[in-house]
Structure 1
């Protein structure tokens, strides 16, 4: 089985990267954080819809692009790289189910965090698998670009997203991979620019090791995500989410370490990657849930 992206898939990745870098580069990211305006740019959301971001896996007969999970993870990896905010996964999953989701004219969120927490509830038009938009109270979020609301009626309510859970976990893992790869780039660039004792800090073995470990984790996670996108196996998706969460969280921490004191300041982007990685690690499938799923598969395999 060949897990290498095809030329067409690489062209898709390049096209999405160009679109996102042109519409949501670093200046736009910082403006989103500093402006206090709504997090979701509705014009950009519609532009993503027109580009087929949300309808990527819908059949062409239904107005979609007609591609599969393998292409979707490449697209979501690029979105994770630029820290594009918004319920991208939920809206993508809602394409063809919630009116306007495929076209980007509707923003759809999901109950994917547990405990009655709903991300972007204040800006969304619908909640995947739930009727209407419930009221809720704002909850302080670790990530300034992932506003949260606590919706008590959802804590024990039958909001069934089980049929979307594996795909949601895989697409979230792809977002994590994009973020992990971006923090490698940030760390390597800073290590080549920052000088200490008359030479770039990247010349020191300790910094080299940090950057190398970041790259290995990110590439292993990327390979696992690509493989899971091809097989669509629940166990492989769970493993991919575990690896991607670790790559994103630990990668951002190591990137912050490479930046030293600079990494802790509001001006550095690395803290945004770390905070988003923390939130994504709790979405769709947590580490504990993934481990339980994998353990159950191992027990079945051992007993057969």
Structure 2
């Protein structure tokens, strides 16, 4: 069987990456990080909506793009790669149900795994969210509130967070390989040293395994397969960022480097996506 992306999906991926590179490249990312407080860029939000991000899976008869969940996973992989901030998953899932969500006029957030991201910036909060109190977030671009009374993470939300994790893991792999090629020690690139080679090879193996699992879960829609994809994608993102830090050495731990931003976002996404324990319990129950 053929499991490669179709020509249309590759074009969708490349177009999304081009859009995000131009609209939310490194300069915009660093400006957002260095701001006094996280702020949702409404103009960027509407541009993403105009590109069809939130209406991607809505039927064409309802003003949507008419694509499927596998296509959405391809797009959210690119979103994760670029570290785009905001409650993208919740707004995407609300399209077609909350007026204005699909067009970017309404920003929607939902509590996932006891955490409510971007509460103060959202126009609509969906789902039970009692006792919301501010919570210090590891990620400077994901403000959080802790809530009670929220139900389990919907499998589609978990899948889209896994896709974002996959994109982040792919980006840190690219960053590590590029640095290993350019940085020299003892008169040669550090990528020629066996320890660095092993780090990069392990990162690649985790990314490709996670990609296969995430893409497969998007096709089947099986909650058990989604749980497995979440675990693999979380591991690829978190361990990949840590290994990327090791490849960069001391400079990787500085505020000026972008590696720590991927690690911090990966930590937060792992919890928003449902957390490892719930995924492990679901898999154990299936076995």
Q: Which moved more, 1:42-51 or 1:2-11?
A: 2-11
- Deviations, residues 24-43 of structure 1 (Å, cap 9, x unaligned): 00000000000225431100
Question: C-alpha distance in 2, partners of 1:11/1:135?
Answer: 44
Structure 1: runs of 5+ lacking an equivalent? 299-304
- In structure 1, C-alpha distance between the alignment counterparts of 2:80 and 2:135, rounded to whole Å: 23
Deviations 1:255-280 (A, max 9, x none): 00001100110000000000000001
Q: What's the counterpart of residue 239 of structure 1?
A: 228
Say whether residues 1:73 and 2:73 are aligned partners: yes
When residues 3 and 109 of structure 1 are mapped into structure 2, their CA distance, relative to the original with a 3 A threshold, is same
Equivalent residues in 2 for 1:165-204, closer than 5 Å: 165-204=154-193
Q: Determine the structure 2 residue equivalent to 1:39.
A: 39
Give the Cα–Cα distance (whole angstroms) in 2 for the partners of residues 196 and 167 of structure 1.
46
For 1:5 and 1:194, how far apart are their aligned partners in 2? Answer: 34
Which residue, out of 141, 152, 155, partners 2:148?
A: 155
- In 2, the alpha carbon distance for the partners of 1:286 and 1:136 equals 19
Q: Is the 8 A contact 1:207 1:258 kept in 2?
A: yes
Q: What is the deviation of 1:4? A: 1.3
2:280 maps to which residue?
291
> Contact 2:130–2:148 (CA<8 Å) still a contact in 1?
no
Number of aligned residues: 287
1:60 alignment counterpart: 60
TM-score (norm 2): 0.96
Shift of residue 135, structure 1, vs aligned partner = 8.0
1:87 is displaced (CA, Å) by 0.7
Gaps of 5+ in 2: none
Task: Note if contact 2:134-2:144 (Cα within 8 Å) is conserved in structure 1.
Answer: yes
For 1:33 and 1:255, locate their aligned partners in 2 and report how far apart those are by CA, in whole Å. 20
Deviations 1:227-251 (A, max 9, x none): 1111111111100000000000000
Q: Find the counterpart in structure 2 of residue 11 from structure 1.
A: 11
What's the counterpart of residue 146 of structure 1?
A: 142
Instruction: Look up the SS of the partner of 1:138 in the other structure.
Output: strand
Q: 1:120 aligns with which of 103, 118, 121?
A: 118
For normalisation by structure 1, the TM-score amounts to: 0.91
Distance 1:28 1:112 in 2: 27
Q: 2: CA distance between counterparts of 1:38 and 1:244?
A: 26
Q: Do 1:38 and 1:123's aligned partners in 2 also have CA atoms closer than 8 Å?
A: no
* Alignment partner of 1:230 is 2:219: yes
Deviation (angstroms), 1:88: 0.7
Deviation at 1:99, TM superposition (A): 1.2
Find the counterpart in structure 1 of residue 86 from structure 2: 86
- 1:154-190 CA-to-partner distances (Å, cap 9, x unmatched) read 413xx55x5x610000000000000000000000111
